[in-house]
Structure 1
Amino acid sequence: MPHSPAKPKKGWLAHYSELIGAWRRGGLGREDGEDAMHDTVLGMLENGVGAIEDPRAYMARGTSNRLISRHRHVRALEMMPLDNLAETEHPVMAGADTGIEFQQLADALSDALEELPLKCRQVYIRHRLEGWSHTEIAQDMGLSRSMVEKHMSRALRHINERLQNHVPF
Structure 2
Amino acid sequence: MSHPSRPRKAWLASYSELFGLWRRKAESREDAEDAMHDTVVGMLENNTALIDNPRAYLARGTSNRLISRHRHQTVLTVLPLDELSDTEHPRQAGADSHAQFEQLADALVSALADLPPKCREVYIKHRLEGWTHTEIAQDMALSRSMVEKYMTRALRHIHERLHHYVPD
Q: Could you tell me the TM-score, scaled by structure 1's length?
A: 0.60
User: Which amino acid is 2:60 matched to?
Assistant: R
Shift of 1:135: 2.8
RMSD (Å) for aligned C-alpha atoms = 4.1
Structure 1 7/105 Cα, relative in aligned 2: closer, same or farther at 3 Å?
closer
Shift of 1:31: 5.8
Give 1:102's aligned residue.
Answer: 101
Structure 1 130/5 Cα, relative in aligned 2: closer, same or farther at 3 Å?
closer
Q: Supply the distance in 2 between the matched residues of 1:151 and 1:21 (Cα, whole angstroms).
A: 40
Q: Percent identity?
A: 51
The SS at the match of 1:143 is coil
CA contact (8 A) 1:123 1:148 kept: yes
Q: Supply the distance in 1 between the matched residues of 2:158 and 2:148 (Cα, whole angstroms).
A: 15
Structure 1 runs not aligned, ≥5 long: 43-47, 80-88
C-alpha distance after superposition, 1:37-59 (max 9, x if no partner):
628x96xxxxx978xxx775465
Structure 2 residue 36 is the aligned partner of structure 1 residue 33: yes
Q: Supply the distance in 2 between the matched residues of 1:16 and 1:118 (Cα, whole angstroms).
A: 43
Structure 2 residue 121 is the aligned partner of structure 1 residue 118: no
CA contact (8 A) 1:36 1:67 kept: no
The SS at the match of 2:118 is helix
Give 1:93's aligned residue.
Answer: 93
Structure 2 runs not aligned, ≥5 long: 24-28, 79-88
Structure 1 97/116 Cα, relative in aligned 2: closer, same or farther at 3 Å?
same
Matches within 5 A, 1:118-157: 118-157=117-156
User: Which amino acid is 1:119 matched to?
Assistant: K
Flag the structure with higher helix content.
2
Number of corresponding residues: 148
C-alpha distance after superposition, 1:14-48 (max 9, x if no partner):
77545655566644475653444628x96xxxxx9
Give 1:60's aligned residue.
Answer: 59
Q: Could you tell me the TM-score, scaled by structure 2's length?
A: 0.60
Give 2:71's aligned residue.
Answer: 72
Q: Supply the distance in 1 between the matched residues of 2:111 and 2:140 (Cα, whole angstroms).
A: 22
Structure 1 18/129 Cα, relative in aligned 2: closer, same or farther at 3 Å?
farther
Shift of 1:147: 2.7
User: Which amino acid is 1:8 matched to?
Assistant: R
Shift of 1:131: 1.9
Give 1:166's aligned residue.
Answer: 165
Structure 1 69/55 Cα, relative in aligned 2: closer, same or farther at 3 Å?
same
Q: Supply the distance in 1 between the matched residues of 2:91 and 2:129 (Cα, whole angstroms).
A: 20
CA contact (8 A) 2:136 2:147 kept: yes
Q: Supply the distance in 2 between the matched residues of 1:33 and 1:7 (Cα, whole angstroms).
A: 21
